[in-house]
Amino acid sequence: MNHSDFETTLPENLIYGRHPIAEALQQGRAFDKLFIQKGISGDAMKTILQYARQQDIPVQMVPPEKLNRLTGNKNHQGVAGFVALIAYYELDDLVANAYNGATVPLLLLCDGITDVGNFGAMARSAACTGVNGIIIPQKGAATISAEAVKASAGALNQMPVCKVRFLDRTITYLKENGIKIVATDVSATHYLPDVDLTVPTAIIMGAEGKGVSPAFLKMADEKVKIPMVGSFNSFNVSVATGIMLYEVVRQRLLAL
């Protein structure tokens, strides 16, 4: 058995080293995130940070041990990053395409969904229910990794995804464009089937345990709860997403 048998297989979309990272940024390649070693300096690093700011790429300052783990102790030179596996859409393009489609606009907003398995399953349900696009925040969201794509059964290769800096501004923009914001809330007074979902709609789904953020609940046009029986008070977020989106499909089919 040789040394290579113990080497960790690195993700195909991982790039490390100052020159490869800078070159990829100069070519306009999209990154999900950059990891930069704390306290590191130099002209090359200044250039990388400048491109990251211009392209609105999340940057995390980390100790060298983190970079060593990410790269399998390769010569990372203090920087590594994950190239995006998909092409992200601009918000205005996503909304315009939704209105120009053959069906009533339907969008899915993810608030704090960090588990890649859940996110992938949500994307699969979205693809099966005619969702026009998924909106995720730049920070505090699951990375669209190979694992997420696999969990989505390939849906993420086809589903338009938009990454935004501020979900609150996004919600305001959607409302201004005639899209009803519907949020899940276990304390809501209305059940899901009681709300009209035949109009242009954006469904907000919150993280496991926490649910939709209070600030976004206040901005929602409708707050709904899913009918449940038994001792549990909530579904897994990917299951809840499927139920929410299926209800949209049910109502819209009945309205035809």
CATH of domain 91-255: 3.40.1280.10
Token output for 18: 């100052």
Average pLDDT of span 118-126:
96
Token output for 75: 């010569």
Lowest mean pLDDT segment, chosen from 107-111, 194-198, 225-229:
225-229
CA atoms of 82 and 168, how far apart (whole Å): 26
Query: How many C-beta neighbours within 10 Å does residue 19 have?
Result: 11
pLDDT for residue 8:
62
Domain residue ranges in the chain:
3-83, 91-255
Do 158 and 134 form a contact (C-beta atoms < 8 A)? no
Please give the CATH architecture assigned to the domain spanning 3-83.
Answer: 2-Layer Sandwich (3.30)
Closest CA to 12 of 78, 85, 108: 85
Helix (H, G, I), strand (E, B) or coil at 34: strand
Element of type H or E holding 161:
strand 161-164
pLDDT band at 7 (very low <50, low <70, confident <90, very high): low
Q: Phi-psi bin for 153: left (phi > 0), alpha (psi -120 to 50), beta?
A: left
pLDDT for residue 30:
86
Looking at per-residue pLDDT, the higher value among 110 and 9 belongs to: 110
Give the model confidence (pLDDT) of 150-199 as tens digits. 999 999 999 999 999 999 999 999 999 999 999 999 889 999 999 999 99
219 φ/ψ angles, rounded to the nearest 5 degrees: -80, -15
Give the model confidence (pLDDT) of 74-101 as tens digits. 999 999 999 988 889 999 999 999 999 9
Identity at 182, one-letter amino acid code: V
- Write down the pTM of the prediction: 0.86
Q: What percent of the chain has pLDDT over 90?
A: 74
Q: At what angle do helices 18-26 and 43-54 cross, to 10 degrees?
A: 30
Q: Is the pLDDT of residue 146 over 90?
A: no
